[in-house]
């Protein structure tokens, strides 16, 4: 973004830009998107849009980052419950995986279009940073839980990388392939089983 929407009016403007972008994608697909069309649909001049975003790609990227931050906050809330002992580690793992599948694998045609675009932007620094931060949050929670769950392996960098990327990679493949397994109990169960077996001492 060219400038951060600090004041309420600016935040409203950005939200309207996001809403207009979503509406166009839903009706016409990504091919029908342009900055002029976004501004017209949002009820602003294109100059207003350019105050915040230099291109339609920048709007899409901001929408992707916004959604990823929302999901990360949801994931962190689950970790807090596990660390506090209010949620068992296995159930916490299941809740995190379920939220990831819902956020990055399911949804309406708009969400799927945005998510597929996000999958193609894995090289972007902000996306990679979000993945690293997510792994760091898990490591902190894991170390605390391990004190009362001695059967868990230590959260080494290699184990964290493999476990987190295995889940995301599987969801990504299912999303890009439009797999009918997405959203099924069997798909969720296998992801949970894979990670649980990976992190347990044998």
> Would you say residue 53 has pLDDT above 80?
yes
Q: Which CATH architecture has domain 63-199?
A: Orthogonal Bundle (1.10)
Instruction: Please tell me the predicted confidence (pLDDT) of residue 86.
Output: 76
Ranges in the chain annotated CATH 1.10.357: 63-199
For the chain, where do the domains classified as CATH 1.10.10.60 start and end? 1-54
118 against 28, higher pLDDT:
28
- DSSP assignment letter at 108: -
pLDDT tens track for 154-163: 888 899 889 8
How far apart, in whole angstroms, are the C-alpha atoms of residue 96 and residue 75?
A: 6
Q: What is the pLDDT of residue 121?
A: 61
Q: Name, in order, each residue with C-beta under 8 angstroms of 69's C-beta and a sequence gap of 6 or more.
A: 130
Its pTM stands at: 0.70
pLDDT of residue 105: 65
Q: How confident is the model at residue 16 (pLDDT cuts 50, 70, 90)?
A: very high
Residue 103 has pLDDT above 80, yes or no: no
Q: Measured between alpha carbons, how far apart are the two ends of the chain, in Å?
A: 48
Q: In the prediction, which pLDDT does 190 show?
A: 97
What is residue 141's predicted lDDT score, i.e. its pLDDT? 80
Residue 197, CA distances (Å) to 99, 102, 192, 193, 202 in order = 20, 23, 8, 6, 8
Fold of 1-54: Arc Repressor Mutant, subunit A (1.10.10)
Reported as a pLDDT band with limits 50, 70 and 90, residue 4 is low
Per-residue pLDDT band at 34 (split at 50, 70, 90): very high
Q: Report the C-alpha dihedral over residues 171, 73, 127, 99, rounded to 10 degrees.
A: 10
Region 89-108: mean pLDDT is 79
């Amino acid at each position: 973004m060219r400038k951060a929407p600090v004041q309420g009016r600016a935040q409203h403007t950005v939200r309207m830009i996001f809403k207009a972008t979503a509406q166009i994608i839903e009706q016409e697909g990504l091919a029908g998107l342009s900055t002029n069309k976004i501004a017209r649909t949002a009820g602003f001049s294109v100059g207003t849009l350019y105050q915040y975003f230099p291109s339609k790609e920048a709007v899409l990227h901001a929408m992707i980052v916004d959604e990823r931050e929302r999901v990360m906050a949801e994931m962190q809330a689950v970790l807090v419950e596990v660390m506090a002992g209010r949620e068992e580690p296995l159930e916490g793992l299941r809740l995190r995986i379920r939220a990831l599948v819902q956020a990055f694998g399911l949804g309406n045609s708009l969400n799927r279009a945005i998510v597929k675009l996000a999958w193609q932007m894995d090289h972007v620094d902000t996306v990679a940073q979000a993945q690293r931060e997510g792994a760091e949050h898990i490591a902190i929670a894991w170390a605390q839980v391990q004190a009362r769950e001695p059967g868990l392996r230590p959260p080494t960098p290699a184990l964290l990388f493999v476990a987190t990327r295995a889940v995301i990679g599987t969801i990504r493949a299912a999303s890009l392939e439009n797999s009918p397994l997405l959203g099924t109990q069997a798909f969720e169960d296998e992801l949970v089983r894979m990670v649980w077996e990976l992190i347990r001492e044998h």
